[in-house]
Amino acid sequence: MHAEKMNGNFMLKEKTEEKIAAYIEYLKKEHDLSVSIHPAGKYAYVFFRAKKLRDYNIHTNPYCFRVKNDRANHRKCIRCQEMVLLRCKSDESYTGVCYAGVAEYVHRISVDDTVAGFISISGYRDKKILPGKDKYYDENMKKEEIPVQLLDTLISPLSIMIEKLIAEIKCDDDEDDVYSQILRYLEEYHMDVSVHELAERFCFSRSYISHMFKKRSGYGLKQYCNLLKIKDAKALLEGTEMSVSEVAFSVGFNNFSYFINTFKKVTGKTPLEWRFDRKKIHI
């Protein structure tokens, strides 16, 4: 009876994930929206379990990738996200501009009156910034106004679906909390991170971090970070005309051959083959 219940819950979660992913793809294709989901706290673990949604946890704009390639700038991005979460405690949705001049629409994700994260519709130009600031900025920021009324209508159903998914995925012990914090940290800093850095930040030994992470994720730290880098690379290959070498550098690979080999190991295809196949899908 217990096994049947577990299997039923798993199937329910899978269906919810599929609906969310399909809806995000609809928003991207039909409304040209840059959608990303940013879980807070322990809910990072929830999204690790939601395999179909992992690719939607990043801003895919080339300008954002370029900014985050500088670690000091990346830390500013993290602080901006923390401020967004604070604002979400009082406002269900709002618009704002980050320190790098990217305007976005934000919609809160709530669970039991707690902020579980937020949905971002990003990539809009700050009207105060004149053309010529940066080539990547000029080429990749949308010039139109943020369609707030339309987004209020389109994004509310997405937040409800995500809240439903969270309710279907259990995350309840102390180790889950530590693990979820590490996952969230890696989502932001996977371009350049070490076990030593994680051990210092989370106050555990390097041995504990290594073994616990391998046990929970099934991956070594470097292997897992490479998976995240490949996820970033796929977003740039699909959403931009950047060359493969530019993509490799932007996501944190300094060795081009290593990037090609890692990408093929993860996807079964070279970056150019993968990009070609994705373009055929959208024709």
pLDDT for 283 equals 52
- Structure tokens of 185? 């940290």
pLDDT for 265 equals 93
- Which of 206, 188, 173 is closest to 42 using CA atoms? 173
DSSP string, 170-238: ---SHHHHHHHHHHHHHHHHTTS--HHHHHHHHTS-HHHHHHHHHHHHSS-HHHHHHHHHHHHHHHHHH
Q: Where are the domains of the chain?
A: 1-171, 190-283
**Across the 283 residues of the chain, what is the mean pLDDT of every consecutive 10-residue run?**
42 78 93 90 70 76 79 81 92 94 95 90 91 82 94 96 82 62 82 86 87 90 92 86 88 91 94 84 54
pLDDT for 268 equals 93
- In whole angstroms, what separates CA 122 from the centre of its chain? 12
3-state secondary structure of 43: helix
Indicate if the alpha-carbon torsion angle 14, 232, 32, 158 is positive or negative: positive
Domain 190-283 CATH class label: mainly alpha
pLDDT for 13 equals 66
pLDDT for 12 equals 53
- Structure tokens of 211? 């073994």
| Contact criterion met (CB below 8 Å) for 102 and 63 | yes
- In whole angstroms, what separates CA 274 from the centre of its chain? 20
